[in-house]
Amino acid sequence: MQARYGNSKDFSCFFPKNRDTPIAFLYQNHSDTTMTKNKPLLIIITTGLLDILGLGIILPVLPFIIRGFGLGENWVGITFATFSVGMFIGGIVFGRLSDIYGRKRILILTTSLNMIGYLLFFLSGNIFIFLVARLLSWLGGSGASVAQAYIADISAAKDRTKNMGLFGAMFGIGFTLGPVLWGLLGGTTLTSLGAISGIVVFLNLLFIIFFLPDIRKKHPESHEESVMPLDFHHHKKQIYLLFMTTLITALGFSAMQSTFSLLVSDRFGFSPKMIGYLFGFIGIMSVIYQGFLIKYVRKVFDEKGMILFGLSCLTFSFVLFANNQYVWSIFPILMFFPFGYGSINPAVGSLHAHYAGREVGKALGTNASMMSLGNIIGPFISGYLYLIWSGMPYIFSAGFFMLAAVLVSFGLRRIKR
- Indicate if 20 and 116 belong to the same structural domain: yes
Q: In this model, does residue 293 exceed pLDDT 70?
A: yes
- Indicate if 283 and 385 belong to the same structural domain: yes
- Indicate if 75 and 208 belong to the same structural domain: yes
CATH number at residue 86: 1.20.1250.20
- Indicate if 247 and 315 belong to the same structural domain: yes
Burial of 207 (0-12, 13-18, 19+ CB in 10 A): middle
pLDDT of residue 34: 41
Q: In this model, does residue 400 exceed pLDDT 50?
A: yes
Higher per-residue confidence, 77 vs 127: 127
- Indicate if 157 and 202 belong to the same structural domain: yes
- Let me know: does 362 contact 96? Beta carbons within 8 Å: yes
- Indicate if 207 and 331 belong to the same structural domain: no
Q: In this model, does residue 365 exceed pLDDT 90?
A: yes
pLDDT of residue 26: 36
* Each residue's pLDDT tens digit, 373-385: 888 888 778 878 8
Domain boundary, last residue among 191, 216, 241: 216
Residue 150 in any domain: the answer is yes
pLDDT of residue 223: 42
Residue 20 in any domain: the answer is yes
pLDDT of residue 202: 95
Q: How far apart are CA 381 and CA 391, in angstroms?
A: 13
Residue 181 in any domain: the answer is yes
- Indicate if 101 and 182 belong to the same structural domain: yes
Which letter, b or e, does each residue of 376-395 get, where b requires 16 or more Cβ atoms within 10 Å of its Cβ? Answer: bbbbebbbebbeeebbbbbb
Domain boundary, last residue among 153, 186, 216: 216
Residue 149 in any domain: the answer is yes
pLDDT of residue 60: 65
Q: In this model, does residue 5 exceed pLDDT 90?
A: no
Question: What would the mean pLDDT of 284-293 be, rounded to a whole number?
Answer: 90
How many domains does the structure of the chain reveal? 2
Residue 223 in any domain: the answer is no
Closest by Cα among 141, 169, 164, 128 to 84: 141
Position 63 confidence tier, pLDDT thresholds 50, 70, 90: low
- Indicate if 127 and 205 belong to the same structural domain: yes
- Indicate if 121 and 264 belong to the same structural domain: no
Residue 2 in any domain: the answer is no
* Each residue's pLDDT tens digit, 31-44: 344 444 578 899 99
- Indicate if 78 and 194 belong to the same structural domain: yes
- Indicate if 210 and 289 belong to the same structural domain: no
Position 392 confidence tier, pLDDT thresholds 50, 70, 90: very high
Q: In this model, does residue 30 exceed pLDDT 50?
A: no
Note down the domain range covering 22. Answer: 8-216
Q: In this model, does residue 115 exceed pLDDT 50?
A: yes
Domain boundary, last residue among 189, 216, 243: 216
**Chain CA centroid to CA 268, Å:** 30
* Each residue's pLDDT tens digit, 211-270: 999 885 444 444 445 556 567 777 889 999 999 999 999 999 887 777 887 898 889 998
Higher per-residue confidence, 176 vs 6: 176
* Each residue's pLDDT tens digit, 164-190: 998 888 877 877 777 667 666 655 666
Residue 221 in any domain: the answer is no
Q: In this model, does residue 140 exceed pLDDT 70?
A: yes
pLDDT of residue 229: 58
Higher per-residue confidence, 401 vs 86: 401
Q: What is the pTM of this model?
A: 0.81
Q: Of the given ranges (121-125, 323-327, 406-410), which has the lowest mean pLDDT?
A: 121-125
Q: How far apart are CA 255 and CA 101, in angstroms?
A: 37
- Indicate if 308 and 207 belong to the same structural domain: no
Distances (CA, A) of 71 to 62, 68, 79, 216, 294: 12, 7, 12, 46, 43
Question: What would the mean pLDDT of 43-51 be, rounded to a whole number?
Answer: 90
Position 12 confidence tier, pLDDT thresholds 50, 70, 90: very low
